[in-house]
Structure 1
Amino acid sequence: MFLRSRSLARTATVVAAASGLAILSACDGPGGAGGHSAASSCTAPGVTRTEIKAGLLFSDSGAGQSAFGAYRGGVDARLGIANATGGIDGRKIVYSWRDDASDPAQNLVGAQNLVQADGVFGVIEGTTVAAGSAQYLDGQAIPVVGVGGEIAWTEHANMFAWSYYTTRTGSNSVWGDFIRSQGGTRAVLINSAAGDATQNFHRQLSESLRSAGVDIDQTFDVTAGMTNFDSLAQRMKAAHIDTLTGSVFPDALARILPAARAAGVNLKVVLAPLGYDPTLLALMGPALAHTVMYLDFVPFELNTAAHSQLVSAMETYAPQVQPPAQESAAFGWLSADMFLRGLQAAGPCPTRESFIRGLRAVRDYDGGGLLPHSVDFAVNRGQLSSCWDFVRVSDDGSRFIPLQPVARCGNPLT
């Protein structure tokens, strides 16, 4: 998730061997006069007789890079498979991309460049600052698919995510129930990112923990290169903290936990939304021992047919990403898969409107088996996810271990 060759940092399109299939459907439907001439009359931006151009907007640098390092590789893998089997209605899916540097202002600039300069049909997005461009993309009626980590994903009908980490109101008991089941009673919330989305995420956690009888004693904003973690650990010890959670990035967590152990803080529970990545374990695994991560997709350790397909495609179309079984690769794969599903639903002559309308009508999306349960896009927008899969870092920090049960669900809190 952290380290990739910088040779990736140049504009590229996904290129895979196409089968040379003719376009079988015309713009006027399966029974039309059709053929290449009809397909070439499709006028939506980014759509030609042979290609559909997407925009890829993600955090390739900045604070969020550690969470999205393999995201582009996952997109390449999913689109590579699609293009190798003829694309969508005979069109390859290609893309232009921009790095938003984990900055909302750059996110907006990147989106504007993709739409106005590159003429993309829709946007695939992997970032924690999507709010920067959300209003602009909605105003342009641009379809957007990606990781629903911010409130903005719940508030715009053109934006699609398979799950939502945060919503403006309400919460769920799942986090508090888990922490209490592990013996946690007194918590500190750690924040590695600024902004309204993080504050709202902490509100959800607070409501969830308090509903389970877990007290929240302290909240800290931390930065891996600036925070005095020894001082923070001493304050945790003085407050008898036994639980650490929040929107904490892995690099900061790897500084906090050794300091807490050295100070004698007896942590019964460490719960984080990010960090499920073997590359991370290779870099800092012992520091993260015992940490529990919760996921919105089936963990790779269960080794299903869907995992085998993803890993094989990564090895073929994104061999620079090693190891291929990474959380952000799964995020990229699922985001690209939603884009493909939307194009299928849009018909042989897709428009942005038909994409949004068609994908919103899909009621059984399961990410090809990567999701723990199917998603109904007609009703899921703005609904905080109730069920998550939980994995734990092993005692020696070398591997992830799915908990038993791996899938845990909670109850909505209003």
Structure 2
Amino acid sequence: MSRPIRTLAAAAAALLLATACNSASTGGGSGGSGTSDARPGTSARGVTADSIKVGGIVSMTSASGYSKKDTDLGARARYDRANAEGGVNGRRIDYLGAEDDGQDPARNLAAARKLVQQDKVFAVSPMSSVAFSGADFLDGQRVPTVGWGTLPSFCGPEHIYGFNGCLVPTPGGTLNQTWPEGIAQVLGGAKGRSVALIAGDNDAGTFGIRTFTQGFKAAGFAVPYAKAVVPATSVPSDWSAYTKEILRSGPGGTAPDAVVSVMQTPYNIGLFTALKRSGYRGVISDPTDYDPGLLAKDATRQALDGVHVLLQFQPFESDSPAMRRFKADIRKAAGGRDVPLNMHMMTGYMSADLFLSIAAAAGKDLTAASFQRAADGFSDTGTLVGDRAEPKGRKESFGCGALVRLRNGRYEVAVPFRCYPPIPFR
């Protein structure tokens, strides 16, 4: 599997995720506050002779009803396997589970403080929330933190890692072209094709629009509509104003060839339903709706039918050894039940996997400093997100990508998992 050379935080493919994942908040916490068990850089907080204490922060609940609770199951599945195999250099992982931040910045920072100051964890993995206001605090306390790198806080800070790298592009960095190139394959080429981009009315949405506009234009698409206009605080009950503008945005007032949404599931269901009722027959795509659990309701299944979803990991439909192992680990953690797989499980699983891999490389003398030294020279290949390397991951994505399509109640691979050359981000 080739390594995705610089990929802006998937900005093109990940910011999308970032935005798609929701909205963006970069650390607003107090990096220097709080107490530590030892001198900065040498702290072994949470590490004993036979255990490593780890916690998580996940948006189990949110005001919109969107939940990432299965992120916790994914992390637990990976930690359980590590313990079954003897732990990390002889130490078991004492996984405390994930704190629910409710997708609220104040609760996110409070959860970070609790895990460090009260629970005395060595690491926070997974961290999956768009309200990552605890970033500065965790980095200041030298707490290894691993999550989905769809926010700026995963790009640069010394102790914070994206499980598939930094997905948010910065000037002088690069854009991952997985999404634009994947859509081009679905359409049989980008020449003469147009794409409409829509996002929430917040900072993340604005940045996502900027990012993806550049990426799709670089791939050869016309982008006649690119707006971050949907209220970020509540799902619209009437989508007609948005669909009318989108469907007249193509050449000569025609509909665009593709509509790309960088929003969460509740928004996508409303938008996609409205587009289909308006008679739209083009390609519809988003980065969040790869979840068999969404298919339980007829209205949701109909809204998502035919939608192409961007992934930054191997599709569950693949049959690689790594995917078979992932499925077995999830099944075991779920008590032997075959639970519907979703991307949140993968987020938790691969966050835990990256933490475990670096911790193993750090050796028996595990401290914040030794973990950091190991991270600075870490690399491996053939994972579910492609090849990984640090400190590259603080500035670039090392995930590739695929597109899956929902058809007749089942997901199928529309564009296989692969990597694409990045482009400079301006």
The answer to whether 1:344 aligns with 2:360 is yes
Residue identity matched to 1:399: R
SS at match of 1:341: helix
| 1:230 counterpart letter in structure 2 | S
Following TM superposition, by how much is the alpha carbon of 1:207 offset from its aligned partner in structure 2, in angstroms? 0.7
Is the contact between residue 81 and residue 329 of structure 2 (CA under 8 Å) also seen in structure 1?
yes
Indicate the residue corresponding to 1:12 in structure 2: none
Q: Quick one: distance in 1 between partners of 2:186 and 2:157?
A: 37
The match for 1:400 is: 411
Q: 1:136 to 1:89 in 2, by over 3 A?
A: same
Given that residues 279 and 323 in structure 1 are in contact (C-alpha distance below 8 angstroms), is that contact kept between their aligned partners in structure 2? no
| Residue 233 of structure 1: how far off its partner (Å) | 2.2
1:276 maps to 290
Instruction: Please state whether the residue corresponding to 1:409 is helix, strand or coil.
Output: coil
Residues 76, 318 of structure 1: 8 Å contact kept: no
Which residue number in structure 2 is paired with residue 21 of structure 1?
Answer: none
User: If you compute each CA radius of gyration, which structure gives the higher value, 1 or 2?
Assistant: 1
- SS at 1:61's partner residue? coil
- Render the CA deviation track for 1:210-248: whole Å, top value 9, x for unaligned: 222322324231466434123322333333332221321
* Deviation at residue 73 of structure 1 after TM alignment: 0.6
Kindly state the Cα deviation for residue 182 of structure 1 after the two structures are TM-superposed: 4.1
| Distance in 2 of aligned mates of 1:321 and 1:206 | 42
* 1:189 matched residue in structure 2: 197
SS at match of 1:343: helix
Pick aligned residue for 2:396 from 383, 390, 394? 383
TM norm structure 2: 0.79
8 Å Cα contact 1:386/1:412 also seen in 2: no
Partners of 1:236 and 1:229 lie apart in 2 by 11
Report matched runs for 1:156-305 at 5 Å: 156-161=157-162, 162-169=164-171, 170-183=174-187, 185-192=193-200, 195-211=202-218, 212-219=220-227, 220-222=229-231, 225-239=235-249, 240-242=254-256, 243-266=258-281, 268-283=282-297, 284-305=300-321
Alignment of 1:78 with 2:94, yes or no, is: no
User: Which is bigger in relative contact order (C-alpha 8 A, separation at least 6)?
Assistant: 2
Contact 2:74 2:330 in 1 (8 A): yes
Contact 1:104 1:132 in 2 (8 A): yes
Shift of 1:253: 1.1
Q: Which amino acid aligns with 1:206?
A: T
Q: Deviations over 1:309-353 (max 9, x none)?
A: 222222222239862422111111111111111221222121011
Q: 1:64 to 1:87 in 2, by over 3 A?
A: farther
Alpha-carbon spacing, 1:319–1:165, altered in 2? closer, same or farther (3 Å): farther
Distance of 2:147 and 2:64 partners within structure 1: 15
Distance 2:49 2:64 in 1: 37
Would you say 1:62 and 2:62 are equivalent positions? Answer: yes
CA 297–181 in structure 1, closer or farther in 2 if over 3 Å, else same: closer
Counterparts of 1:87 and 1:378, CA distance in 2: 25
Q: Give the RMSD, CA atoms, in angstroms.
A: 2.5
Identical aligned pairs, as a percentage?
26
Name the stretch that deviates more: 243-252 or 381-390.
381-390
Question: In structure 2, do the counterparts of structure 1 residues 195 and 235 end up closer, same or farther at CA, with 3 Å as the change threshold?
Answer: closer
> 1:25 matched to which residue of 2?
none
Residue identity matched to 1:166: V
SS in 1 for 2:284: strand
Q: 1:54 to 1:365 in 2, by over 3 A?
A: farther
Structure 1 position 133, deviation (Å) = 1.3
CA distance in 1, matches of 2:69, 2:78: 16
Displacement of 1:187 in angstroms is 3.2
**CA, structure 1 residues 349+274, in 2 after alignment: closer, same or farther (shift >3 Å)?**
same
SS in structure 2 of the partner of residue 392 of structure 1: strand
1:64, distance to aligned residue in structure 2 (A): 8.1
Inter-partner Cα distance in structure 1 for 2:64 and 2:168: 17
User: Structure 2 CA distance, aligned partners of 1:181 and 1:302?
Assistant: 19
- Unaligned 5+ segments in structure 2 are 1-41
Partners in 1 of 2:264 and 2:48 — Cα distance? 41
Offset at residue 65 of structure 1 (A): 6.8
Q: Distance in 2 between matches of 1:136 and 1:120?
A: 14
Q: 1:379 to 1:164 in 2, by over 3 A?
A: closer
Aligned partner of 1:99 in structure 2 is 100
Contact 2:155 2:394 in 1 (8 A): yes
Instruction: Give 3-state SS (helix, strand or coil) of 2:387's partner.
Output: coil
> Is the partner of 1:46 in helix, strand or coil?
coil
Structure 1 residue 404: Cα displacement: 4.3
Aligned residues: 366
1:355 to 360, 371, 379: 371
Moved more, 170-179 or 311-320: 170-179
Q: Is the 8 A contact 1:293 1:390 kept in 2?
A: yes
